[in-house]
Amino acid sequence: MRRTLVFGGARSGKSAYAENLAAASSRDVIYVATAQAGDAEMTARIAHHRQRRSHCRWQTVEEPLALGQAIARWSRPDTLLLVDCLTVWLSNLLFAENGDFPEIGSIAPPAIFLEQREAFLSALEQAQGDVVLVSNEVGMGIVPKGAVSRWFVDEAGRLNQAVAARCEQVVWVAAGLPLVLKGER
């Protein structure tokens, strides 16, 4: 069993790289999609991802919140789970309660976030088959204005660190080019 984190900036080629890893494996692939089509822009992004993998015979599982449960259910020794994407999943959790957020000050995460994050990290550690996880690096630019944006960037960074610590391989993708940070190619 091998866990791989593939991360990078927006439009870096990380999803395509992860899909190539999955396609090159000798395993059945289960694509775990975390996105929800809440608006026209996200609908277009989802359609783009679907089109890119239309030639693949992969099973798709849509799971916007209970990612740990999906990993526990679908991970088997003969499968490769491809999870795309952790930061979309994080956003789903952090904003699940549709609350108002202050412009300044600290923000308390919703209970679902703490519960599902722990369930996900536990399921990742216990996965029975290979898992490839896609995530965004969002903390390399300017510190965002507004408490909610800083909160999201901080939680995404913490999540990426926690996942990388549990993975045998970590790959940074920039301009479509992979750089192995941990593990072997």
Residues marked as catalytic: 49
Phi, psi of 72 (to 5 degrees): -60, -40
Q: Is the distance from CB of 132 to CB of 22 less than 8 angstroms?
A: yes
Q: Is the distance from CB of 112 to CB of 94 less than 8 angstroms?
A: no
Q: Is the distance from CB of 108 to CB of 153 less than 8 angstroms?
A: no
Q: Is the distance from CB of 178 to CB of 132 less than 8 angstroms?
A: no
Give the residue among 29, 25, 34, 46 at the shortest CA–CA distance from 70. 34
Give the residue among 3, 5, 9 at the shortest CA–CA distance from 175. 9
